[in-house]
Structure 1
Amino acid sequence: MPATSDRFLVVLDADSTLIRNEVIELIADEAGRGAEVTAATEAAMRGEVDFATSLRSRVEALKGVPVSAFGHVLSRIEPTPGVRELTSAVHERGGRVAVVSGGFHEILDTIAPELGADIWRANRLAVVDGVLSGHVEGRIVDAEGKAEALSEWAQEIGVPLSRTIAIGDGANDLRMMAVAGLGIAFNAKPAVRERADLVVGTVDLREVIPLLP
């Protein structure tokens, strides 16, 4: 194992970063409300509306979707090109890979380990009698929650914030990108590109490998 001083942490957003999809939109498709939720998601990612308020509203549109539909949602997930190569490169260099998402554990618990993540955090959808109730359980993982997760994981692993990298695409990723030693805008909205330390425009996570410590 590398010395603690040589370790580092890479934290990725999930939707449109770790994967190509926005999971809430895929679930909304199961309720026939995909277009409505897509428009609301895009507004939230541009930073035009409060993320937590927007998420609660969008999750209400999922009410009645059976938990059994998650299998179909998972079958539609598209990993971002280069994601496995990036996570392998991080591990080869002695780093850890984390994912923090405004999306949902119900999906991330399957895809995060498959794509090489060591730790992850997301929201949980409330379920009643096998169907979604239209509510989120507990505290919502928003911009501040993402920043807190990065800081907590760095402390647990024994990594200074200067040796952390945050990668995201939406306005709710800006706080964790500001906290990290290096904030990378990946396939990002204009407001995020403007405030990031670096911008990766190509939708291929292998572009990040040369930036690793």
Structure 2
Amino acid sequence: MTLPYTLTLVVRREAGVLPPAVIEQARELVSGAPPVILSDGEAVDIPCPPLTAWGPGLEEIRAGFEGQPIDVLLTRTRGRRKGLLVADMDSTIVASETLDELAALAGVGERVAEITRRSMNGEIDFAAALRERVALLRGKPASLLKTTWADTHLTPGARTLVATMRAHNASTALVSGGFTWFTGRVAELCGFDIHHANQLGIDRDRLTGTVAEPILGRAAKLESLRSLAESRGLRMAATLAVGDGANDLDMLREAGLGVAYHARPVVSAAIHNRIDHADLRALLFAQGYRLADFVE
């Protein structure tokens, strides 16, 4: 009989291997079946019954591995492989906050970074925060965009995540509260099918300090998830969303598998599944992909 849930353990590759004792400890905690190796020493699946009120919950299981670079994810066994990926860009698919980096080059880095921090923690409205940050860039040379891009790097595992899901007939979308100037380049570099973001105002060779309305923020990200799923004839259960900030919360909550990736505290506290240690390849393990299935 197939058990209805799967507990997945993933260790950060650079930190070493997943200890057999940890795997057995997790199996005992959830009364699980024998583990299925997804990547030797790196990731395993443990089929299990539902985590009940009288047994340990997911946070208790995580607490048992505190201090170890191990991520713990719980998914329904049925329909684990998703047909749609919707991903945030900044601090998710790329390792930096592109607006913060741009602002630093423009000489207003500290002011913009503080607004970003408050916005991503859900302390202030995203749209208002974006307008305020962009206004500080007024009159700055547009060439700073190219300089920022030269120092922007994909998060480890990003290309593998997108390529593997596309190879298995999933659609992939980059949906960002950042700017199309960056998402277009990231989408091409990483292999996303489509991208949506905000339009940064540029007049000749200068930034205007404006962003086109309406602003793509928290509600628009959720709507993108819904509309993309509908256009592909997918139920919400067949979708995967990943992000790190407060403006990602609604889409993470509604997706069939919503994952907080190295997220802000307000997001980590609200989302059932999260990746705190491993790279984006963990999203493939969470869907039951084996290392042999990965497309590099």
Give the drift of 1:65.
2.1
Residues 44 and 50 in structure 1, CA contact (< 8 A), matched pair in contact too? yes
- Which SS does the other structure have where 2:96 is aligned? coil
Q: Which residue of 2 aligns with 1:207?
A: 282
Asked if 1:61 corresponds to 2:136, the answer is yes
Q: Which residue of 2 aligns with 1:100?
A: 175
Give the drift of 1:75.
0.3
For 2:270 and 2:223, locate their aligned partners in 1 and report how far apart those are by CA, in whole Å.
19
TM-score between both structures, scaled by the size of structure 2: 0.68
For 1:166 and 1:7, locate their aligned partners in 2 and report how far apart those are by CA, in whole Å.
10
Q: 2:186 aligns with which of 79, 103, 111?
A: 111
Q: Which residue of 1 aligns with 2:269?
A: 194
Q: State the structure with bigger RCO (CA 8 A, min sep 6), 1 or 2.
A: 1
- The count of aligned residue pairs is 208
Asked if 1:52 corresponds to 2:52, the answer is no
Q: Which residue of 2 aligns with 1:73?
A: 148
Asked if 1:11 corresponds to 2:94, the answer is no
Q: 1:26 aligns with which of 77, 101, 107?
A: 101
For 1:103 and 1:142, locate their aligned partners in 2 and report how far apart those are by CA, in whole Å.
9
What amino acid is aligned across from residue 205 of structure 2 in structure 1? G
For 2:236 and 2:270, locate their aligned partners in 1 and report how far apart those are by CA, in whole Å.
18
What amino acid is aligned across from residue 155 of structure 1 in structure 2? E
Residues 105 and 121 in structure 1, CA contact (< 8 A), matched pair in contact too? yes
For 1:77 and 1:192, locate their aligned partners in 2 and report how far apart those are by CA, in whole Å.
24
Give the drift of 1:67.
2.0
Give the drift of 1:69.
2.1
Q: CA RMSD of the aligned region, Å?
A: 1.4
| Distance change in 2, residues 1:96/1:56 (3 Å) | same
For 1:94 and 1:211, locate their aligned partners in 2 and report how far apart those are by CA, in whole Å.
17
Residues 83 and 205 in structure 1, CA contact (< 8 A), matched pair in contact too? yes
Moved more, 71-80 or 129-138: 129-138
- Which SS does the other structure have where 2:281 is aligned? helix
Q: 1:151 aligns with which of 206, 214, 226?
A: 226
TM-score between both structures, scaled by the size of structure 1: 0.93
For 2:243 and 2:163, locate their aligned partners in 1 and report how far apart those are by CA, in whole Å.
19
Residues 8 and 96 in structure 1, CA contact (< 8 A), matched pair in contact too? yes
Residues 252 and 258 in structure 2, CA contact (< 8 A), matched pair in contact too? yes
Residues 81 and 203 in structure 1, CA contact (< 8 A), matched pair in contact too? no
Residues 101 and 109 in structure 2, CA contact (< 8 A), matched pair in contact too? yes
Greater Rg over alpha carbons, structure: 2
For 2:161 and 2:249, locate their aligned partners in 1 and report how far apart those are by CA, in whole Å.
21
CA deviations on 1:92-146 (whole Å, 9 max, x unpaired) are: 2211111110000011111112112111100011122321111111210110010
What amino acid is aligned across from residue 232 of structure 2 in structure 1? I
For 1:90 and 1:190, locate their aligned partners in 2 and report how far apart those are by CA, in whole Å.
28
Q: Which residue of 1 aligns with 2:242?
A: 167
Give the drift of 1:168.
0.6
For 2:173 and 2:277, locate their aligned partners in 1 and report how far apart those are by CA, in whole Å.
21
> Sequence identity, in percent?
36
